[in-house]
């Protein structure tokens, strides 16, 4: 198969676009999870930015002050305080894939692009597993001590 045929075949493959554009349906929004760890991989590109982080449950705990941390208001009404109150640390260790929103939304919130090995944390929802990597969609992303709610644009 020549290069042009291979590229045409890959472009017509529906899985890539199906995984890229999705709503909240594939994610378990009934149980918010709290993850913290160093960034191992970053893909800062559309349609959705994502990163991978190393989560070690033995060293991660939901911070006592998590519920009191200031979280800016967003257009969609999400009770972030209630989510922070019931967040749990997942027991599964290893690399987790973190789904983030589009670069346009990240830009509206002025979310800084994390660096490799930088420790970040998030509140999110378990999603479909891709190969051996656990996937979580970030509802609130914590970088350098600042909270960024990511469900919708700033209010």
pLDDT in tens, 79-120: 888 898 899 999 888 999 999 999 999 999 999 999 999 999
pLDDT in tens, 12-55: 333 333 344 456 567 788 899 999 999 999 999 999 999 999 99
Residue with tokens 């890229």: 20
Residue 114 within a domain: yes
Residue 154 within a domain: no
- Distance (Å, rounded) from C-alpha 150 to C-alpha 125? 12
Residue 5 within a domain: no
Residue 68 within a domain: yes
Q: What is the pLDDT of residue 4?
A: 44
The residue segments making up the domain with residue 42 are: 24-149
We report the CATH number of the domain holding residue 45 as 2.40.50.140
Q: For the chain, how many helices (H) and strands (E)?
A: 4, 6
Kindly state the greatest CA–CA separation across the chain: 58
What's the predicted TM-score (pTM) here? Answer: 0.80
Q: What is the pLDDT of residue 13?
A: 35
95 versus 65: which is more confidently predicted? 95
- Distance (Å, rounded) from C-alpha 53 to C-alpha 38? 5
Residue 38 within a domain: yes
Interior angle at CA 52, CA 145 and CA 129, nearest 5: 125
Strand-pair category, 146-149 with 94-99: unpaired
- Distance (Å, rounded) from C-alpha 28 to C-alpha 41? 24
Q: What is the pLDDT of residue 24?
A: 56
- Distance (Å, rounded) from C-alpha 136 to C-alpha 146? 20
Domains: count for the chain: 1
Residue 2 within a domain: no
Residue 4 within a domain: no
Q: What is the pLDDT of residue 23?
A: 62
Q: What is the pLDDT of residue 114?
A: 97
Write phi, then psi, for 67 (nearest 5 degrees).
Answer: -65, -30
- Distance (Å, rounded) from C-alpha 61 to C-alpha 75? 30
Residue 112 within a domain: yes
Interior angle at CA 54, CA 46 and CA 66, nearest 5: 85
């Amino acid at each position: 198969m020549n290069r042009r045929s291979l590229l045409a075949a890959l472009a017509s493959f529906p899985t890539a676009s199906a995984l890229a554009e999705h709503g909240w349906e594939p994610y378990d929004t009934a149980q918010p999870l709290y993850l913290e760890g160093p960034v191992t991989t970053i893909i800062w590109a559309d349609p959705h930015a994502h990163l991978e982080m190393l989560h070690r449950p033995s060293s991660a705990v939901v911070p006592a002050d998590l519920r009191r941390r200031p979280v800016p208001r967003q257009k969609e009404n999400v009770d972030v305080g209630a989510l922070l109150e019931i967040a749990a640390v997942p027991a599964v260790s290893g690399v987790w894939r973190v789904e983030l929103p589009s670069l346009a939304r990240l830009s509206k919130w002025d979310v800084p692009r994390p660096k490799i090995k930088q420790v970040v944390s998030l509140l999110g929802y378990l999603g479909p597993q891709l190969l051996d990597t656990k996937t979580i969609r970030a509802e609130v992303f914590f970088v350098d001590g600042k909270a960024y709610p990511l469900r919708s644009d700033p209010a």
